[in-house]
Structures are given as C-alpha cells and as structure tokens.
Structure 1
Amino acid sequence: MKIAKVESIPLRIPFTAGGRSDEAVWGGANLQTVDSLIVKVTTDTGVVGWGETFGFTAVPVVKLVIDTILAPEIIGRDAAVLDRLMLDMQRKFHIFGRSGPFIHGLSAIDIALWDIAGRVSNKPVHQLLGGGVADSLPCYASLIRYSDPGLVRENVVRAVEAGFRHLKLHEIDVDCVRAVREAAGDDIEITLDVNCPWSVREALDMTEKLRPFNLRWLEEPVWPPENYSGLARVRQEGGIPIAAGENASTLMDFQHLLEAKAVDFVQPSPAKMGGITELKKVFALANANNVTVMVHTFYDGPGLLASVHASAALGGPGALVEWRYFDLEAQLYGDAIIPKNGAIAVPQGAGLGLEPDENVIHAYRVH
C-alpha cells in the first residue's frame, strides 16, 4: 500500500467567541476567522486519511513545505511503515530545523497515515494504540483572551451553563482571573495559559498574586518557552502546578523538559510535534517520569481527533481534552464532535472515526 497523493487544504471559518478578543499569540485583536490546514493522503489502493497541522498565520508556510518538499518525498513510500517513514523524514530534513514548518507538516501527514492504518485494519486509532474503555472524555473549555473582567465573566458563566466543569483562561491580568473564580465558584477547575510572557522573576511575582485562585495549573509562564531551568524554578518556588510542552517539537525536547523537572503536566501538541507516532512516545516518557500528560488540542479537525484517541488509549482516568471554545460558523464534523455536558465522545469508527464534511471543505476552502 503506497502513498499516491498528498493534498494540503487551507480552510478559513468565521467564528464568534462571546465578545471581542484581545491581542493574543494565535492572532491579532478582534480575530474573527480561524485559519486551519488539513491534509488529505490517498493510497494507491484508494484509502484516504486525514491529518491537520497547527494553523492561524502559519498556514501558508506549512502548506508550501508540504506541497513542495514533504509530499514529493513521501509519494511512493509504504503507507504502513509509519515509524520508519517519520524517522527518515526527520533525518533527511533536520538541517531545515527541528521545529516549525517541517515538523508541523510531518505531523499532519503522520496523523493522516494513522487514520489510514485504522481504516485498513477496521479499528479506531485508540485501539491501535492499545485500547481505552471510555466512550467519552471530559473537556475543558479553552477560552480566548478577552482582557476584560466583564467579558470573561460572561463567557465563563456561558461555559459552565453548557456543562463544562473545567475551564482554561488565556488572561494575563489578575483582575480577570479573580472575576472568573468569583463567577465560577469553588467547584469549577480553572487553568491559566499565559503564553510565555514573563521573566522568571516576573513569573514568581505573579504566582504570589495568583495563588489565592486555586489554579489547577499555570501554563507556560516563562519566556522563552525552552527556558526549562527557569520554568523548574517557578514550579519549585511558585506554589502553583506548572504545565508546558505545546512548543516542544521533538522527543528530545520533551526529555529535556522532564529531566529539568520543570512541569507537573506535560502538553504535547500532536499537530505540531510529530503526530501520533511521536505523541505515543511522549506518553511513555512522561509515565517513566511520573508526569501527567494533558494533550494540547487547540484544533477542530483531525488534530483534535488524534488527541482524543491518544488520550482515550494512553491518558488514564484523569485525561482531559481541550475544547476550543469558539462558536464556529461550521464544524468539519458537524455535531458529532461537539461536547455534550462538558464531555466529548470518543469516535468508535475505523481510523480517526469521523469523515470530514466535504460541503464544509468546499464552502470554506481558501483558494
């Protein structure tokens, strides 16, 4: 079974989010559309698999790498020899960087090939990864950055009323976090992702202000994200559990992160760090270091499904799925993937288990 065709498909889907967004790392202020890049891989036997890479403003450069470098290289290769193929690609193109467009593009292709493997074997990906008994997994609603206590309060109430018992904020203002805790009450779990804004000293000063709000974790408080020793110091002295890893790209990155004892929760991002092939290795590495994996899942397409399958199979009883709390104009999988009462269904069909809506692809494809 050979890889016959690789097609990268950019999508742009409008969304709302319960109020104006503030400046944030995934886009400018008042962001109104989500740009994503999905990948369709077809074998010479006609089997199709779908993958996804991290989107937003990174889409054009990743598409260029896939179309002009990665796709020509893998066409004709055996679709079933996944580990070897991914290792070959990483070795061949390592001189172009061990992070960014090349690894992002490989991630999407890898997810698509796991989808194909499941379809050929007539098993869902979570069974290929070793099983998983859960029919659904709890989600945390991952809100945009509002930088307005009133707006964030309104949307926290909206998420809690929709059934979410776990929330993620992207605020960097203490007043916004205070407003969320007051609105949500003590029974709702709150995490805070600040997207690497502070020095170690600034982060420690902020943990003192944030401790009263009983955060489940503080995510990526230190700039730069690869400052693992600084992150470890914040973890040791700050009094709040630390999460990081969405910006780590290779297994060695995660090994260094864990060796530094920098995190309580490690957050591999399958659409950025090598796909399911690398993700399963991070689970094993984290288990060996007694660190909990919380897969980064800021996607709505095959990248989300990959995270759900991996979390169901490998994540244990405490696994949570990140749900991007956007009101999208259209969903790639319709209602099948939308959480109900704060939980997302684990697809039981072959491969990733769901088929993208071709009408949505046609309507929102960027040409």
Structure 2
Amino acid sequence: MEPTVIITGIQALPLRIPFKPGDRVAAPAWGPEDLNVVDSLLVKVTTDQGLEGWGEAFGYRGVPVTQRAIDEVIAPLCIGQDATRIAGLMREVQGQLDVLGRGGPLTHALSAVDIALWDIAGKAASTPLHRLLGGGRTDLVCYASLEAYSDPALVRAAVRRALDDGFGSLKLHEKELPAVRAAREEAGPDVAIMIDVNCAWTVNQARARAAELGEIGLAWLEEPVWPPENYAGLAEVRAAGGIPIAAGENVPTLLEFGRLLDARAVDFVQPSPAKMGGVTELCKVFTLAAIHNVTVMPHSFYDGPGLLAAIHALAVLGSDDSMIEWRYFDLEAQIYGDALAVKHGRVQVPQGPGLGVDPDPDVIHAYLKT
C-alpha cells in the first residue's frame, strides 16, 4: 500500500530569546552560560501534501548537538517515509540507533519529530490532537514554575507576582532553606509549593536536606538525588524524608520508567515529551503510572510544541490531580505570541487542528540563532 503523506523535509530551528531587561536570575544547573537568554530548539516537518508539523527538542546547552542529531542522523532516516505511520516509524528509527544509546540528544531529536508528526496527523484530520487521543478536558490547572533566583527578596517578588496572576501552586528552583522559607512566608500556608533541585545531592545529603525542608510543608521535592538513575537511592529518600518525591524528566525510555516505578521511588512521575520520545511515548507512561497508582505531572518546562504536547496528552489521560508545568518568567517574546496564555491559573486546551496553534513566524524570524 502506497503511503498517503510523505515526509519531504525536517528543519531544526534554534531560537535564542533574551529575558526582558531587569529580570535577574541565578545560574541554574541546566542553563546556558549566557544567563540572559533562553535557548530553544524547534523542528518543522513538511510533507508532500503541503502539511507542516511543529515539534520541540530539549534545548539549553544541548541545542547544538541535538540540532546536528536532527540534521545528520534523524532527518535522513525519516525523509521519504510515511508521516501517518508514527509509532511504527519511531520504533524503526530507534532500532537503527540503539547502538548509539537510548537517551540524550538522539532521543531528544526523535522526540521533536514525533511531536511534529502528531501535529501533522491532527492537521490532516482537521482535528485537535487531544481528540485524536480520545477527547478530554477543555482546560487544565497550571502551576507556575519559577526560575532560580537564590536571593530571598527576589524569590518573594516572583512568588507574589505569580500569586497575583492567579496561580495557586508554585515550583521553586532553589536549594537553600532561606530562599524556600521566604517563598512560604510570602505565599502563606495554603499555597502548594514544590521544589526542584535538579539532582543536586547524594542520597545522604538529600535525606538531611529533606529533614530541614520538612517545616516548609512541600507538595513535593523534585529530583533530589544524583545521579538521576539512582532509583533505589531516590526510594530511600522518599521512605525516610516524609516529603512526596517527584522525578522522571531525565528518564529516557518506557522501560526505565517501569524501573523507576517498580522501585517505589516517586509519588509523582514526570515524563518530558521533548526528551523521552514525544507524544507516542508520553501516552504510554500514563498507562504505566496508573498501574502503580502514581500521578503523572509532565515535565513541560518549555514555551513551544513540547508544552503543547503535554497539554493535549494531559487533557485526555491526566487525573484530577495532574497539572501543567508553566514556565513562569519574562522573555522578550513568546513562541506563540499571545495565542497561548494562562488565566486564573488555568490554560485552555487549543482547539485548532493538530497542536492547535503554530509558532509565530515573526518570533522565529526575529530570534532565530544563526
């Protein structure tokens, strides 16, 4: 049977968008050397039918190597293939690349292509992605995921602004107790506060720091242990610390998610669509998590198609407790302009075909990194 929609092009588009003047942040573990900008990597897939799909790979310091993976490895394997055979094509490409590893830039690159192919599938069917996946909610609760500030005064200001904007839950990227305590004092006792420390501590350090953080009343402590694949150590911190544990953004495959959940290491699992295989693999994690009675909280610390992929999947497969991670800081421009926004702590699930909205071409033109 002849394929109906052929992939004719795959283009990686690195964007570098500065912060608005005056927005001061600390040096995050995942960030670029230039702390005044955010680097993103969009991917556009085109077909012989004139359809365009948009995807996103994890960015920051990984942009150059992931871009090369797309241009030199992933694109040659996908161009000329049937764009409608998403799961089969992704499986075949994974099989051809297994000798090169099962995570990192190659998987990030493949994730972007997968998201773009789902965008194309929705556009071909003239229906939004969440309907292709089975239909779901029309809006979702978001939590504000703040940048790293370190200075307690700056943390207070960011917390106050997020609360004034209608968010009822906040995530900090802070490691020191004074900054975390400042957030709790500013937010009051009823606001859910989470902390992501990006795999900063050994198991013993994490147990000690969890004990210190007990007074804050955290909704969860995210990725406290280095290395992130130390699931047994993570389970030890969970058992000893008395604080719910979240992790999963650095888990690259479904099998590894199974190992994480089998270890009873987390209360919340955080698959990242732009890191672990796109929409195709993300949806599988929901089923696996349900078997283990664990809530899925997708990692969606993105402004582009990676965020939209999480929104559509969560609208269909998420539980009542699931939330969207909304990257909450001020950039000079947003990838979708004014077409995607949070109001009163909730985001509307886009109802246009595919992902529902395309990146703003003016933003791409203005901030494309050459």
| Shorter-chain TM band | over 0.9
Distance in 1 between residues matched to 2:214 and 2:22, nearest whole Å? 27
C-alpha distance in structure 1 between counterparts of 2:28 and 2:97, whole Å? 31
Match of 2:88 in 1: 84
1:14 maps onto 2:15 in alignment: no
Residue 164 (str. 1) matches residue 167 (str. 2): yes
Alignment match, 2:118: 114
Question: Unaligned stretches of 5+ in structure 1?
Answer: none
* Cα distance, 1:29 vs structure 2: 7.1
SS at match of 1:328: coil
Question: In the alignment, is residue 93 of structure 1 matched against residue 93 of structure 2?
Answer: no
Aligned CA distance change for structure 1 residues 26 and 17 (closer, same or farther; 3 Å): farther
Q: Find the partner of 1:326 among 326, 329, 340.
A: 329
2:233 matched to 1:230? yes
Question: Distance between the aligned counterparts of 2:366 and 2:28, measured in 1?
Answer: 27
Asked whether 1:183 is paired with 2:186, we answer yes
Aligned partner of 1:45 in structure 2 is 49
331-340 or 67-76, larger mean C-alpha shift: 331-340
Deviations 1:184-228 (A, max 9, x none): 001211000011111111111111111111100000001110000
- CA drift of 1:16 comes to 3.8
Q: For 2:276, what is the secondary structure of its paired residue? A: coil
Kindly provide the amino acid, as one letter, of the partner of residue 345 in structure 1: Q
State the secondary structure of the residue aligned to 1:139.
strand
| Cα distance per residue 1:208-258 (max 9 Å; x no partner) | 111111100000001110000000011111100000000000101101100
Q: Does 1:36 align with 2:36?
A: no
CA contact (8 A) 1:235 1:262 kept: yes
Aligned-residue CA RMSD (Å): 1.2
Paired residue for 1:280? Answer: 283
Q: 2:32, 2:351 → 1: CA distance?
A: 37
* Residues 1:186 and 1:29: Cα distance change in structure 2 (over 3 Å): farther
Q: Which residue of 2 aligns with 1:347?
A: 350
2:45 & 2:185 partners in 1: Cα distance?
48
Worse-superposed segment, 28-37 or 52-61: 28-37
Shift of 1:96: 1.1
Query: Which residue of the partner structure matches residue 173 of structure 1?
Result: 176
Instruction: String of CA shifts for 1:274-300, please: whole Å, max 9, x gaps.
Output: 000000001110011111000000100
- The CA distance in 1 between the partners of 2:33 and 2:187, in whole Å, is 26
From 133, 136, 141, the counterpart of 1:129: 133
Pairwise CA distance, 1:18: 6.5
User: Distance between the aligned counterparts of 2:337 and 2:149, measured in 1?
Assistant: 27
* Per-residue deviation, 1:50: 0.3
Whether the 8 Å contact between 1:119 and 1:350 is mirrored in structure 2 is yes
Determine if contact 1:228/1:257 at 8 Å carries over to the other structure.
Answer: yes
- Equivalent position of 1:58 in the other structure: 62
State the partner residue of 1:193. 196
2:253 is equivalent to residue 218 of structure 1: no
Q: What residue is the counterpart of 1:2 in the other structure?
A: 6
Give the whole-Å Cα distance in 2 for the aligned partners of 1:329 and 1:17. Answer: 8
Runs of 5+ consecutive residues of structure 2 not aligned to the other structure: none
Letter in 1 for 2:55: G
Which letter does structure 1 place at the counterpart of 2:88? R
Aligned to 2:77: 73
Check the 8 A contact 2:248/2:272 in 1, yes or no. yes
AA aligned to 2:289 is A
Identity %: 58
* 5-14 vs 26-35, greater mean Cα deviation: 26-35
CA distance in 2, matches of 1:190, 1:40: 36
Q: Is the 8 A contact 2:23 2:330 kept in 1?
A: no
TM-superposed deviation, 1:17:
8.8
